């Protein structure tokens, strides 16, 4: 049921009851491959979900061995989507996945109440976890951020992954802040997209106090370094269009098979060239959607204000995919 914008945050069902009935361990056990694609949101037109494309995409990544799917994140263009479309994306994803892998839902918003309502909608739809980064636009201080998380987490009816994305939100989850927040039982891990491996290693050390936490790396080419630092896997954008490459890479790292790991890493390093196509920061989303379009999985239309790659850029992406053995 779609929640009314006038609903009071305090008017929901008791969150603790709903949370205790939900499995807290949403990701594979340690030493099991854990690659989660931050799923694109396929579109056919402005504010129109490409449902058939979404179905093909979900089937493809699940067949590629992913450990879950993360929708409505950065790659999913969540801040550019209407609340109606976000809810439709949640409903359709949960229905198509049908319990085969966990569904993680990004609920970050500039408004506290909107994040809570979207999380409750996700829980009602059958999602497994929510992902929450720092509120953006107005940068919060660490004391303010700590208070925000302590206030919002008890209102969320699902396990919570915290998401460090300072490049876009302008605010870090500082290590000491995460250490303080580790006493919240429903916080089950951290996704770090900062690209700072020293920071990542320090976050991994927090698992000494919270061995149930899973710490995942965002920048996909850093998976091997993240593994060496004690990380548990990756939220890898390239797993949208090459899921098996990333799952085989992580499996090889876990098995200590250096030869296989180096072979898969070489493919991933080749694929990084698609993110150099184009000249704007939006090229990361455009390249990912272009790759999926070339693979005939879903449309390459991004949300406003972006536009899809033109034909010259699409041909560059195609050449890179062919060189890496991803496109025939």
DSSP 142-202: HHHHHHHHHHHGGG-SS-EEEEE-HHHHS----HHHHHHHTT-TTEEEEEE-S--HHHHHH
Tell me the C-alpha distance between 142 and 166, whole Å: 13
Both structure tokens of 39: 């799923």
Q: Which of 16, 91, 22 is nearest to 54 (CA)?
A: 91
148 is catalytic: no
* Residue of 83, 137, 170, 191 marked active site: 191
Active site residue 163: yes
* Tokens describing residue 195: 């690209």
Q: What is the DSSP string of 200-267?
A: HHHHHHGGGT-TT-EEEESSGGGHHHHHHTT--EE--GGGGT-HHHHHHHHHHHHHT-HHHHHHHHHH
Q: Which of 137, 148, 163, 199 is catalytic?
A: 163
The span from the first CA to the last CA of the chain, in angstroms, equals: 43
Q: How far apart are CA 3 and CA 83, in angstroms?
A: 11
3-state secondary structure of 118: helix
Q: Residue 315 in 3-state DSSP?
A: helix
Q: Judging by DSSP bridges, how do beta strands 43-45 and 129-133 pair with one another?
A: unpaired
Residue 228: which of 206, 254, 249, 190 has the closest Cα? 254
Instruction: Look at the block and give the residue holding tokens 């995919």.
Output: 321
Report angle CA 308, 164, 25 to the nearest 5 degrees.
105
Residues with a known catalytic role: 163, 191
């Amino acid at each position: 049921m779609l929640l009314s914008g006038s609903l009071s945050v305090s008017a929901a069902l008791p969150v603790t009851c709903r949370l205790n009935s939900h499995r807290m361990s949403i990701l594979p056990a340690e030493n099991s491959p854990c690659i989660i694609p931050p799923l694109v949101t396929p579109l056919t037109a402005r504010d129109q979900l490409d449902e058939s494309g979404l179905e093909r995409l979900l089937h493809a990544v699940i067949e590629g061995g992913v450990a879950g799917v993360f929708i409505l994140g950065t790659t999913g263009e969540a801040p550019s989507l209407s609340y109606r479309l976000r809810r439709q994306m949640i409903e359709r994803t949960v229905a198509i996945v049908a319990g085969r892998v966990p569904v993680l839902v990004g609920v970050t918003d500039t408004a506290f109440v909107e994040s809570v309502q979207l999380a409750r909608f996700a829980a009602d739809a059958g999602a497994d976890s929510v992902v929450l980064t720092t509120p953006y636009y107005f940068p919060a201080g660490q004391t303010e951020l700590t208070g925000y998380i302590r206030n919002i987490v008890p209102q969320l009816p699902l396990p919570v992954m915290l998401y460090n994305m300072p490049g876009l939100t302008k605010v870090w989850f500082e290590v000491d802040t995460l250490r303080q927040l580790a006493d919240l039982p429903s916080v089950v891990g951290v996704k770090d997209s900062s690209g700072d491996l020293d920071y990542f290693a320090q976050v991994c050390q927090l698992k000494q106090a919270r061995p149930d936490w899973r710490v995942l790396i965002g920048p996909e080419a850093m998976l091997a370094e993240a593994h060496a630092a004690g990380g548990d896997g990756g939220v890898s954008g390239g797993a949208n269009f090459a899921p098996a490459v990333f799952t085989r890479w992580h499996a090889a790292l876990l098995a200590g098979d250096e030869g296989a790991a180096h072979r898969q890493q070489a493919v991933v390093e080749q694929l990084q060239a698609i993110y150099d196509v184009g000249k704007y920061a939006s090229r990361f989303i455009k390249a990912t959607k272009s790759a999926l379009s070339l693979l005939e999985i879903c449309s390459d239309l991004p949300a406003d204000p972006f536009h899809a790659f033109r034909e010259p850029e699409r041909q560059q992406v195609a050449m890179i995919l062919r060189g890496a053995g991803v496109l025939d």
